[in-house]
Amino acid sequence: MIIPIETSKRWTPKPLWLGEVAAYDPKLAFVALGAGLADTGYVTDTSGWEVLTLKATWGSATNTADIPANTGVKGQLVPPGIVEADLWVRKVAYTVRRPVAFPDGGVLRAQSDYFNMLNPCINATLKINSFCRYMISPAPTPLELIPESFSFACPAGLVLRCSSSIESDMANVRDFQASAGETEVSASITFHCLRLPQGAYGGCDEQQARAILRELGYLARSA
């Protein structure tokens, strides 16, 4: 199941020229153009943003013991399920929460969560099964580097087709201590997406896409 969000409250993307997308993925640029996502030559969010959340949780609200280092947890889509639409992933982000720490809330919890998120001591892998198998982080990688790994592996983003699956194994590299309110810790990887017309990307002819993009000036003649 997919949960829509308002981008203005979470993330405002910088303008993206369609030619930048075409250089990495002509099919994606052609589909975006045909879907009305780039009528001005720049990608817009007129179709509405959606977010997928992959979450891993150590411990629970009733746990009272330390959580040993190297405790592995599999990330799960929240709510559970598979991707139910063709989505263009534009950005990957992450967050870490310790709900038991500072139970009274307030500014101390916000500061604690913020600084803990900068170096959460969690490693993660990230693999996406879609039109191909995207190995974003095939080996355990510090969670805070996952967004950077995605931007390097997929400069123009990637397309999740309907029924795609996402795999992530996470593990803490230090003990989570009960005395520090770490009896429950959750880490989430979020995928910020634009919805594409169903089946358009998979059915797109790349050579035809390249030819049209060249004529429109979005792709170099030699590409």
- Parse the chain into domains and list their residue ranges: 48-197
pLDDT of residue 211: 95
- At residue 166, φ and ψ (nearest 5 deg) are -125, 130
Q: What is the mean pLDDT of residues 145-153?
A: 92
Residue 8: pLDDT above 50?
no
User: Model confidence over 170-219: pLDDT tens digits?
Assistant: 999 999 999 988 999 999 999 999 989 989 999 999 999 999 999 999 99
pLDDT given for residue 19 in this prediction: 93
DSSP of 141-203, one letter per residue? EEGGGHHHHHHHH-TT-EEEPTT-EEE-EEEESSPBPGGGT-SEEEEEEEEEEEE--TTTTTT
Residues 53 and 48: their CA atoms lie apart, in Å, by 17
pLDDT band at 14 (very low <50, low <70, confident <90, very high): low
